[in-house]
Structures are given as structure tokens and as C-alpha cells.
A = this chain, B = another copy of it.
Amino acid sequence: MSMGAVYRRRGFHYERELAKMLYRLGFAVIRAPASGSRAKRVFYPDIVAVYKRNILVLEVKARSEPCDIYIDKYKVERLRDFAERSGGEAYIAVKITSTGEWRVVPLNQLWTTKEGNYRVSKFILEKSARLEDVVERVKSSA
């Protein structure tokens, strides 16, 4: 299996974990359809979670340790568009599997690559907020 395929499979697993967690915390949660269905034609964020009009738009990644994570330009643009239309906050949500933590990096902290794509830098990821802190802020502001 290619590393791309490994990452995608992990992605689905952790996507479900995150969706369940947010649901238990009181959010209305929608996961994107599995690729192969409509996902091919229409872009959807991996997870949209809403708590009393506070909207989190999430692209989900998983890595064993903090490292650079590359993200297609197209995907970032669509996440940004979705966040603007909805009035939500868009993040790359990263599960660090060695520690079990979920970290979140807002789109405006992504670095761009020479090719015009985007990167969550290891440096930024190590300093990034924990998902729990974002959830707590969202829930207390609602």
C-alpha cells in the first residue's frame, strides 16, 4: 500500500473518532461522504461541527509525531470558501497518535510551498492549540 493510501485509511479512522468525540460534547456533526460517492464531484470538509451557531470546519490528519504536513492548494481554498460562507472557523485537525493528542492549526497559520500548495509546519504544529481548548472556547462563547 502506498503511504498516501495508508494516510487516507488512518484519516478515516481518526475522522470517525473526532466526529464521535464532538458529538458527545454536544455538537451537531457532519462527516463528508466517503470518497467514491458524491465526494468526487463536490468538495466537503472532512468534518463540520456546530455548537449553537459556532461552526468548526475541519480537515483531519493523523501522524505519529509532529512533522510537516502538506495540503493541496485546492483543498485549502475550498475550506476557506466554506468557512467564509458559513461564518465558521477552519482548522487542520491533527491527531498525534504517539501522545493521543488532537492539535488544531487555523488556515492562516499554514505556510505556502514554492508550488503554491500549503504546509502545516512541524514548528507551528508543536506550538498549536489543543482541540480541547478550542472546543472549550467555542462552548463557553455560545
Please report A residues at the B interface, Cβ cutoff 8 Å: 26-28, 30-31, 33-34, 37-38, 42, 44, 48, 50-55, 81-83, 85-88, 142
Contact = CB atoms under 8 A, between A and B. Distances in A.
A33 B28 contact: no
A30 to B, nearest CB: 5
A76 to B, nearest CB: 15
Given A44-B30, A48-B30, A142 B38 contact: no
A51 B83 CA distance: 10
A27 B85 contact: yes
B50 A88 contact: yes
Contact of A53 (B33, B37, B38, B55): B55
